Each structure stands twice: as structure tokens, then as C-alpha cells.
Chain A
Amino acid sequence: MTVLVLAADLDPTVDAVVAELNRRDVPVLRCDLAWFPQHLALDARLDDGARRWAGGLHTEHRHVELEGLRSAWYRGPTGFRLPTGLTGPERHHALWEAKLGLGGVLAELPVLWVNHPGAEADAAYKPVQLPTATRSGLTVPPTLITNQLDAVRAFAADHDGDIVVKPLSFGIITEDGVDRPIWTHRLTGDDLADLSGVDTTAHLFQRYVGDKQFEARVTVVGGRLFAAAIHAGSAAARIDWRSDYAALDIKPVDVPAQVESGIREFMTRMELVFGAFDFVVDTSGAWWFLECNSAGQFGWIEDATGLPITAALADLLEKGQP
């Protein structure tokens, strides 16, 4: 039985897991959706009365029967690369045919998905995550999503002006060929005085949890939790630790039972098998849920703490069940 890994060619985190699976002699087919249709081929048949797709995936070097898969790791694959020479409408058509054809067959496979693409897509919505977290028993900072300037002013007034803005979607924008990260930003008085551009699209504002002890990253792999405390050593890192990795001190930490219960409930509700949760832990000991990244990175946590996340993920993919 084979593990299917759908990932970009350049992804050292994937390399580490694949190396571990190789060490265990677990068969792996690693490919990127960018390989389709030119370097990845699919034939899938639903024969008379059949309950699942039969057929195979083929690359230049490997072949796997769809019935021979035990698990699939959906780890940020990049997009389909179509042949050159297509017109715009042709490309649009071909992309959607690929998406619904290959994507549909894969998504229907009755294997353990880490995570299923549908669950992954659903989890991308912070407006879905936040109330799901509260329903799961986790604590969420007051949040506003709006394109109304007056709503931002009222929200800021409710929280003594101490609020942050953070993207709902991508943490990077590429402009003029330069990737520019969009960190969580704590608003100043000047920022609040000029809110032009809020009405251009939806924005997410949140009360700033300022009385931080530390932040926590809890990586969930199947039923196992790996928690690390992230102590920020710079002003920038205290607002958004992603902005200054060099200033971080990362150590394993225990998760309070109530928070662990909430995390497990959230995973069930969102139908996730893997998730990387971000919390702020304040000076009272409260754990504030910020988000769950269903495709979160974990190699840096493992390197810093020794928490065996790579091995746990290999365990999960090898077993084919949570």
C-alpha cells in the first residue's frame, strides 16, 4: 500500500517525511499537481456497479493503482501546468476540467487524507474557524470583519483603541516581483485616523491581546498534540512572531486540559487530521485562539524542541488511519 504525497517539488518539510517513510520501506508516490497533465497521468474508471474509482496514477518513474493507496498527504501542491499555446478561454476551460477531473477523483479516494482538500479549503476561512473555535470551547479575542470605516472606529473604541489588523487570506503580496509579507499590525492612532481603503474589501480586526506571557504553537497530528511555547525577544516578534524568527525562544509546553479538549473538538468539527494552532497565552494563563493553519509548517518547531512531529506524521501516513 502506497502513501500519496501531493506537494511542491521544493519543500524540505516534505523531504524529511518522505525520507522517514523511505527508511521504513513504506512505498511513496510523491508528485505535484503542477505535474498534471504533462508529467502526471490519470486513468480512472468507474465500471458497472463499482463503488469506487479504479485505475492509476502514472509519473515518469512511478505508477500506483488507486486501490493501492493507503493515505494521501495534501501538502500545498502547486497548480496545474497546462501546455503552452492555449488561448485564455481554453486555459480557463482546461484548468477547471483538470481541477474537477483529477481533483474529483483524488478527493473521492477512500483513504486517510492529511488533510482532505475539502476540509483544508473550508479551514482556510477564518470567519469559519473563529466561531467553530468558540463552539469547541476555546477562547477567541473579539473580532470584527468589515468594509465599513465607522464599524472599525466603533470596534476600536470598544477596545481602547488597542486592536490589530491581519489578513484573512494570504500573508504575502507580490508586487513588482517582490514578495512582501503582511504581518499582524497593531494599529496606532495615526492608523485609526485614516482608515481609507477599508472600504475596498473585507478586513479583519481583532482586539490585541497585549498582556502576553508567550505564544503557543500546538501541532496536531492525528490524535497526538505537540505543543511549544514561543517566547518573543523583540518588539516586532511580540506582535507577530513570524516577523522575527531570530528573536524567538521555543520550548515544549504543557497544554491545559480544557484547551486540549477544545483543540480536539475543533479538529473533529473541521474534519481535520493535521493542524497547527496558534494561541496567545496571557498573564492570567488564558489561552486565546488565533487560528489553526491546516497546512502549517512544523520543521522549525521540531528543530527547536525535538518534538517528534516528522515521525508522528510518518506514523499516521504509514498506518492510514488516525
Chain B
Amino acid sequence: MDSSFSSSAGSPLMPVSARVSTGRDRFPTAASSAAGVRPYGLRFAADPGPTARTARIPAWTLDPATQIARATADHTPLYRMPNTGTRATTGASPDGGGSTGGEEWTADFYGDEG
């Protein structure tokens, strides 16, 4: 195993209730495998299109006083900004915020974020 990658899988049949998120697997390089080996369901993975929301989110910090994210430039709460908050959007995370991923994102299965 590459030392830069660590999996939280452990015993695949461990009791699921023992899980607490340990983060998202990262793969140093990843490209499609040969046809016939690549899982069938991944044939239908879509191109992301021009909707990568994180690219449109301005610089921000988590305000220690209020514990909400604010734009660095003018301290506007991110969730009140139409292009970064919970307004209608496209992509996998309809409420905005790249790091939370989409609804199908299940933290408990991911490995080391670091």
C-alpha cells in the first residue's frame, strides 16, 4: 500500500455501528481501468460540467466568535451569499459547500483525509 494512502475499511464485515468518520480516501493517481474490469456502474459517471461550486466560493474563514463561515473580504456570512449559500444550484451538493460533498457522500466509509 502506498504510504500516502490509508484505508479505513478495516474488517469489511465489522459491525457498522462501530464506525465514526475517519475521512475521505485519497488516491495519488487515478484513471479509468480497462473495459471489462472497470465497474459497470462507473460507465455512467458524468462529466462534472461547469458547475464546480467550490471554484466560485470566495476566500473565507470560520469566524471563531459566531462559528459560521464568513467571506474574508467583507465578513459576509457565506450562507447568505447567493452563489455560495443554500440557494438553488447544480451539482452534487445542492446546499453549497465543496467539502461536504453530495448527498450520496457517506463520511463513514472514507479513509484518511490527511
| Chain A residues close to B by CB (< 8 Å) | 5, 7-16, 18-19, 22, 28, 30, 33-34, 60-61, 75-82, 84, 87-88, 91-92, 95-96, 98-100, 102-104, 106-107, 117-122, 124-125, 165-167, 169-176, 178-183, 185, 191, 195-198, 200-201, 203, 242-246, 276, 293, 295-300, 302-304
- Report A-chain residues with C-beta under 8 Å of the C-beta of B46: 180-183, 243
Interface residue ranges of B25-44 to A (CB < 8 Å) = 27, 29-32, 35-44
* Residue in B30, B35, B47, B95 whose beta carbon sits within 8 Å of that of A12 in the complex: B95
A289 to chain B, nearest CB (A): 16
B7 to chain A, nearest CB (A): 8
Give the total of B residues in contact with A, Cβ under 8 Å: 77
- Report B-chain residues with C-beta under 8 Å of the C-beta of A182: 41-42, 44-46, 104
- Tell me if B88 counts as interface (CB < 8 A to partner A): yes
B108 touches A276 (CB 8 A): no
A76 touches B107 (CB 8 A): yes
B74 to chain A, nearest CB (A): 16
A118 to chain B, nearest CB (A): 3
- Whether A165 contacts B77 in the complex (CB less than 8 A), given A91-B114, A99-B22, comes out as no
B77 touches A299 (CB 8 A): no
Q: How would residues 83 to 114 of chain B score, 1 for a CB under 8 Å from any chain A CB and 0 otherwise? A: 01111111111111111111111111111111
- Whether A181 contacts B45 in the complex (CB less than 8 A), given A8-B97, A34-B113, A99-B8, comes out as yes
- Report B-chain residues with C-beta under 8 Å of the C-beta of A124: 16, 106, 108-109
* Residue in A78, A88, A295 whose beta carbon sits within 8 Å of that of B6 in the complex: A88
* Residue in A16, A119, A179, A293 whose beta carbon sits within 8 Å of that of B79 in the complex: A16
- Report B-chain residues with C-beta under 8 Å of the C-beta of A179: 48, 52, 92
A245 touches B95 (CB 8 A): no
- Report A-chain residues with C-beta under 8 Å of the C-beta of B90: 244-246
* Residue in A87, A201, A300 whose beta carbon sits within 8 Å of that of B94 in the complex: A300
A12 touches B84 (CB 8 A): yes
Q: A102-B20, A165-B44, A295-B107 are in contact. List 20 more A-B contacts (CB 8 A).
A: A10-B98, A12-B84, A13-B86, A15-B78, A79-B21, A79-B107, A96-B10, A99-B20, A107-B20, A117-B21, A121-B18, A165-B40, A169-B104, A169-B109, A170-B104, A175-B31, A183-B44, A185-B44, A196-B35, A198-B40
A18 touches B66 (CB 8 A): yes
- Tell me if B1 counts as interface (CB < 8 A to partner A): yes
B104 to chain A, nearest CB (A): 3
What's the Cα separation between A9 and B101 when bound, in Å?
12
B86 touches A28 (CB 8 A): no
What's the Cα separation between A240 and B8 when bound, in Å?
30
Residue of chain B at shortest CB distance from A118: B17
- Report A-chain residues with C-beta under 8 Å of the C-beta of B103: 171, 242, 276, 293, 295-297
- Whether A302 contacts B86 in the complex (CB less than 8 A), given A12-B69, A12-B95, A297-B94, comes out as yes
